[in-house]
Amino acid sequence: MGRTGVGVAHRRLRVRVRVRGTVQGVGFRPFVYRHAVALGLAGFVRNDSEGVLIEAQGLETAVDELCRVLEECAPPLARVDAVEATTIPPLAASDGFEIVQSKDVGAPAVPVSFDSATCDECLAEVDDASNRRYRYPFTNCTNCGPRYTIVIAVPYDRAATTMATFHMCAECLTEYEDPADRRFHAQPNACPRCGPQLRYADTTGKVFSQSEEALDMALDALRSGRILAVKGLGGYHLATDATDADAVGELRRRKARDDKPFAVMVGDLEEAGRLCHLDAEASRLLVSPRRPIVVAARRSGSLVDRAVAPGLREIGLMLPYTPLHHLLMSGVGRPLVMTSGNLSDDPIAHVDEDAFERLGPLVDGVLLHDRAIQVRCDDSVVRSAGGRLQALRRSRGYAPETFRLPGPALRQVLAVGAESKNTVSVVKGSMLVPSHHIGDLEHLATYESFVHATRHLCHLYGVEPELVVHDLHPEYLSTKYALEMGLDTLAVQHHHAHVASCLLERRRTGPVVGVAFDGLGLGPDGSLWGGEFLVADLHGFERAGHLAAVGLPGGSAAIKEPWRMAVTWARAALGEDAAQAIGSKLDPRAAQVLAILERGNPPQTTSAGRLFDAVAALVGIRSRITYEGQAAIELEALAGSVAPEEAPLYPVGTSRTEGAIVLDPRPLVACVIEEIERGTEPGIVAAGFHRSLAHALSSVAGEIARDRDIDTVALSGGVFQNVRLAQAAELALTDIGLRVLVHREVPPNDAGISVGQAAVAAFAPAV
Ligand SMILES: [Zn+2]
Ligand SMILES: [Zn+2]
């Protein structure tokens, strides 16, 4: 912003300052108050529906200083998007500076803050035997604590949160009302006398004990290898000793989860560093107030049991983010598995009655409390990819952070996302808000959660959708929901949405060459896309290239059973007889698959994800999967010990059809088969596959960029969660002089689809 003007040094004036961004519920008003008082300014500060509004009157130099401070020294949880100051007529009588109560004016449009990990000052109080909050698990302040997960409505005030039922004691109220106190207007402020209490219950919900005793009972149970349900910020965790093979195995059996990795909570960064290799970015992410799960390569000989992440080189670590976690970790003294409290793929339990019903059969005891969770919110998952953030799941700690659109949207939008890894997004003004992680809609409970989340997000931001945007796939439950709303709708192709989500987060509008590699998404031609080169911007796209199409035998069975794609690709590369010989070694039903491919007219797909499945099965690591993406993840892990530049480079074909370039992996697949038959180490073959595909996709993208005179390539889609592939592709593209956009804050997987849909719909011409 501009300064308030030049003039006489001792000029007195009054300004009205509008501050936009995440500025409510983050201690912004007391921050303004303290600086205004120190600068001798008169006036007021208050929250309203647009953010924070300040009027300040005094010496021009003091007013200028206040504006500087607003922009440069905001409190830790605040995110200031804009500071706009205008000079207004001074008031004749004006002294003192005050914080004025929130006014509920008009439709709320203010971002709510994310849930934030316990700050150091609160932690020190919890550890201090002389403090009244000693060992109190719900200690928080203006700089930390629950936010989004307890918010029922905005403006953000205690009465509109699940803390409304707790009445502050005199001491807490004094803190709450004192602008000089760290807990001034900390809405979830609480202490052992007036706030939420811990309980320890058996699996039927019978409460044994409260408070300190409850904690001790939980600690005893965890130390002796039991499995507990623990109520956290956004839902229940299932917790058990991560170093105890029996406990981890038992948890897998009860949760009906064969291989999908469990997250592990460790006491501090030092312990995390003993378990995993952490670069500076991974360390920064672990200790950030968002406290996501950080995926990192495990050290050999680490204490954590192998069964925590079978077949993988990486594990997901996180640090404690509530005082309760800190008390648990210091009490147990060992890493704990902390996995979502659910059976198999159901949504995480967050309501007590439901938790007892669903989790009771899985656990030996329940550690809970009496503060309700308003919004179910899983832990977020991120990693450092070559020293840069890569979000894999944005949820607790990230939701509901907003993204800024390149300009004001033409309309209010609801985007309902994809079918798996679903999120929804809303658009209002220049703001795009993605929801927390919702999950796979094919599960009824998750679908219900989707409906609830959609309504809640619209309600919180006062969005009345003028356009509902959905995937092209008519069978997605999100699509059906959108079409049943009775509003104007827009279908956005799946891979266009992927590329658009990358453009939005990198603050570009295109056109770019978007390389969208993922599982399956419906194309406008009715085939199943998934290895696409799209010349795209926020308005539209043209399919300039793609992987060669092959048959997808057995529909959804082909996704769960990678051996089927191995047969498909072996047939495409080497013919019927070779495919029969190779396939029969993988599964006795290979002949049936070949018959489907020959005569059954199976759907055609260009999916890169299915190509990874095929190669994983061909190198012999996996014929069946128990979680999405497992074959590709294990193929990347298998390649792990081979340096990227030492991997063999196999041939890949290209051709042109109807103006589009076809990347033909058949020679590559033939080489993979030949190498394995010759007895080459599977890790080397896996590394060679990654390197060769990265080179091939880069040269195709490069050719399209040259043809169209475009200088930028965007990499999106779930396949680019594969760091080895993504980094090799980025390197190769940079080498030929192209700028490369990769995902950082928006997941490259289908969790980003609603973001891309929303970005397209925000600027779509009249529909
Ligand atoms: Zn705090
Ligand atoms: Zn109190």
d(CA 261, CA 381): 12
CA of 128 from ligand 2 middle (Å) equals 17
Instruction: Please tell me the number of the ligand nearest to residue 26's CA.
Output: 1
CA of 182 from ligand 2 middle (Å) equals 14
d(CA 593, CA 479): 31
Instruction: Please tell me the number of the ligand nearest to residue 75's CA.
Output: 1
Instruction: Give 200-248 as a 3 state SS string.
Output: EECCCCCEEEEHHHHHHHHHHHHHCCCCEEEECCCCEEEEEECCCHHHH
Radius of gyration of the chain (CA): 27
CA of 119 from ligand 2 middle (Å) equals 19
Instruction: Please tell me the number of the ligand nearest to residue 194's CA.
Output: 2
CA of 577 from ligand 1 middle (Å) equals 67
**pLDDT of 127 higher than 70:** yes
Non-local CB neighbours of 692 within 8 Å, separated by 6+ positions: 648, 649, 650, 651, 652, 668, 671
Amino acid code (one letter) for 764: A
Among 12-26, 272-286, 448-462, 713-727, where is mean pLDDT lowest? 12-26
Predicted local confidence at residue 2, as pLDDT = 41
In contact, 304 and 295? CB cutoff 8 Å: no
**pLDDT of 106 higher than 50:** no
CA of 341 from ligand 1 middle (Å) equals 26
Non-local CB neighbours of 337 within 8 Å, separated by 6+ positions: 238, 239, 240, 241, 242, 247, 248, 251, 262, 263, 264, 265, 308
CA of 715 from ligand 1 middle (Å) equals 39
**pLDDT of 224 higher than 50:** yes
CA of 598 from ligand 1 middle (Å) equals 65
Give the side-chain half-sphere CA count within 13 A for 625: 26
d(CA 287, CA 276): 15
Amino acid code (one letter) for 514: G
Is 159 exposed, middle or buried (CB count within 10 Å of its CB: 0-12, 13-18, 19+)? exposed
CA of 273 from ligand 1 middle (Å) equals 25
High-pLDDT (> 70) share of the chain, %: 97
Predicted local confidence at residue 9, as pLDDT = 56
Q: What is the pLDDT of residues 617-663, one digit of tens each?
A: 999 998 899 888 999 999 999 998 899 989 999 999 999 988 899 99
Predicted local confidence at residue 110, as pLDDT = 56
Question: Is residue 379 classed as helix, strand or coil in its secondary structure?
Answer: strand
In contact, 230 and 326? CB cutoff 8 Å: no
Q: What is the pLDDT of residues 599-622, one digit of tens each?
A: 988 999 999 999 999 999 999 998
Q: Which of 233, 446, 232 is nearest to 347 (CA)?
A: 446
Instruction: Please tell me the number of the ligand nearest to residue 190's CA.
Output: 2
Predicted local confidence at residue 233, as pLDDT = 95
CA of 47 from ligand 1 middle (Å) equals 21
Strand 314-318, strand 263-265: pairing: parallel
Q: What is the pLDDT of residues 429-486, one digit of tens each?
A: 999 999 999 999 999 999 999 999 999 999 988 899 999 999 999 999 999 999 999 9
**pLDDT of 1 higher than 60:** no
Instruction: Please tell me the number of the ligand nearest to residue 196's CA.
Output: 2
Q: What is the pLDDT of residues 236-262, one digit of tens each?
A: 999 999 999 999 999 999 998 889 999
CA of 141 from ligand 1 middle (Å) equals 4
Instruction: Please tell me the number of the ligand nearest to residue 189's CA.
Output: 2
CA of 452 from ligand 1 middle (Å) equals 30
Instruction: Please tell me the number of the ligand nearest to residue 197's CA.
Output: 2
Q: Which of 759, 765, 764 is nearest to 503 (CA)?
A: 759
Q: Average of pLDDT values for 709-728?
A: 97
CA of 185 from ligand 2 middle (Å) equals 14
Question: Is residue 146 classed as helix, strand or coil in its secondary structure?
Answer: coil
Q: What is the pLDDT of residues 60-72, one digit of tens each?
A: 999 999 999 998 8
CA of 196 from ligand 2 middle (Å) equals 10
Q: How confident is the model at residue 116 (pLDDT cuts 50, 70, 90)?
A: very high
Q: What is the pLDDT of residues 270-316, one digit of tens each?
A: 999 999 999 999 999 999 999 999 999 999 888 898 999 998 899 99
Instruction: Please tell me the number of the ligand nearest to residue 142's CA.
Output: 1
**pLDDT of 216 higher than 70:** yes
Instruction: Please tell me the number of the ligand nearest to residue 126's CA.
Output: 1
CA of 127 from ligand 1 middle (Å) equals 13
Instruction: Please tell me the number of the ligand nearest to residue 183's CA.
Output: 1
Amino acid code (one letter) for 174: T
Task: Calculate ∠ Cα 347-351-356, nearest 5°.
Answer: 90
